[in-house]
Amino acid sequence: MSLASLGRAGGISDAERRDAADPLRHLRARFHLPEGTIYLAGNSLGPAPVAAFADMETALRREWAEGLVRSWNDAGWFALVGFLGDRLGRLVGAGPGQTVVCDSVSVNVYKALHAALALRPDRNVIVAEGGSFPTDLYVAEGVAATRPDIELKLEGVDAEKIEDLIDERTAVVLVNHVDYKTGELRDMAALNRLIHARGAIAVWDLCHSAGVVPVDLDGGGADLAIGCTYKYLNCGPGAPAFIYAASRHHEALSQPLSGWWGHAAPFAFERGYRPAGGIQRLLCGTQPILSMRVVDAGLAAIEDVEMAALRAKSLALTDLFMDLVEPVCRLHGASIVTPRAHAARGSQVSITFEHGFAVVQALIARGVVGDFRAPDMMRFGFAPAYLGYADVQAAAEAFNEVMTSGIWRDERFTKRRAVT
């Protein structure tokens, strides 16, 4: 049975009817999706927005090759950090002037942790999640290395629940909005209330929620946040990340990556550092403009629809997938670890299975692209902007077929190689 026919067994399927009625169906044409692929790895690297091709042509040939150095002003290159930051901010509930697009997530975590520590000079504990995406923890270690007084306490190591680690010594709580492995979603507003009640600063990692889960940074009382743009925001491989700081903190904001782009007058070439007034002081050096130019197309592909509509479809897609694969999982000893409750999950479905690596390889061979995280986690990301119900049904049927047939035992699929 071919992949294309999977969702169509027995004439027009229910999934196809839902696609036909989907108010977001038009978004799919804004993305380039390879023939014969159902792409469920958009939680790792989002697909290319079609507009990126023409935009890059303009950036390369008109702005760089023809405009040369004057494009820093004339093409608005220098202003991109804030121009794109404000637009991205709207997708995560941030009013203007609080978000900049720049650097990598790891570099921004470093800035955010230092900024938070500087806001709480009388405290010396960083609280984070033991199950965090590791770079957050590695960077927290790096921050602690520059400040020998700092202590790092981890959920899952020093206490079962993060709430139990937050006390009067806690300067900052670094927490993922959606867990990269399980897909679990935190209640941002509730945790912020607790963090603030105990006098600490919250730094939110939005890598797995920005662009697909409603985020209300301002309304939810967030202090600082960072996130990436290459997952559900579809801005290109390694595209510049973002950093947010609530305006109430701007006056006291400081961070040690005090490069010239964060200076109050970067082109005055003054000898001493004088931080810019607002969110700009979280900038450091010159940004990679060609990668930055694609952020425009990534944001444009989803910013004209309501996040609530994206969320509703995301939940419907993940519900459908879980409904379809759960019986087969149960039969073969695989477990869906992503919470079923809507309020408790993002936009991915994670399934643990001892032979998950091989199952993912067998699915990829069938055109269903998910990914695998050691030791046993299969991850399937469902991006409502370019996936439909028939895609989900076809993916689920492929999954069930691979599990049921045991084809994953073939050595084509069990043989490991370096994975990213």
273 labeled part of a ligand binding site: no
For the stretch 196-200, contacts whose Cβ atoms lie closer than 8 Å and that sit 24 or more positions apart, written own/partner, are 196/221, 198/166, 198/167, 198/168, 198/170, 199/120, 199/123, 199/168, 199/170, 200/120, 200/123, 200/127, 200/166, 200/170, 200/171, 200/172, 200/173
Among the listed residues 31, 39, 133, 353, the single catalytic one is 133
133 labeled part of a ligand binding site: yes
Could you give the residue ranges of the DSSP H alpha helices within 7-100? 14-21, 51-57, 71-74, 80-91
Which residue(s) pair with 373 in the sheet? 377
Residues 131, 122: Cα–Cα separation, whole Å: 27
Residues 339, 342: Cα–Cα separation, whole Å: 8
CB closer to a second copy, 138 vs 323 = 138
Residue 153 neighbours by CB distance under 10 Å = 20
Spatial neighbors of 148 by CB under 8 A, at least 6 apart, are none
**What are the backbone dihedrals phi and psi of residue 211, each rounded to the nearest 5 degrees, phi first?**
95, -10
Question: With contact defined as beta carbons under 8 Å apart, do 378 and 353 qualify?
Answer: yes
Query: How many residues would you count in the chain?
Result: 420
353 labeled part of a ligand binding site: no
Active site residue 231: yes
CB closer to a second copy, 210 vs 315 = 210
Among the listed residues 19, 103, 205, 223, the single catalytic one is 205
CA dihedral for 368, 347, 139, 93, sign (positive or negative): positive
134 labeled part of a ligand binding site: yes
Shortest Å, Cβ 160 to a second copy: 16
Active site residue 230: yes
Active site residue 205: yes
Among the listed residues 230, 321, 382, 413, the single catalytic one is 230
CB closer to a second copy, 177 vs 263 = 263
261 labeled part of a ligand binding site: no
Shortest Å, Cβ 157 to a second copy: 8
327 labeled part of a ligand binding site: no
Question: With contact defined as beta carbons under 8 Å apart, do 303 and 88 qualify?
Answer: no
Shortest Å, Cβ 216 to a second copy: 26
304 labeled part of a ligand binding site: no
Shortest Å, Cβ 138 to a second copy: 4
CB closer to a second copy, 307 vs 363 = 363
260 labeled part of a ligand binding site: yes
Shortest Å, Cβ 211 to a second copy: 17
**Strands, E, within 272-370: which ranges?**
335-336, 348-352, 368-369
Among the listed residues 231, 281, 293, 313, the single catalytic one is 231
CB closer to a second copy, 80 vs 91 = 80
Shortest Å, Cβ 68 to a second copy: 6
CB closer to a second copy, 228 vs 317 = 228
Question: With contact defined as beta carbons under 8 Å apart, do 102 and 235 qualify?
Answer: no
Per-residue tokens: 175: 């927490």
Active-site residue list: 133, 205, 230-231, 379
For the annotated binding site for pyridoxal 5'-phosphate, the residues are 106, 133-136, 205, 208, 230, 260, 286
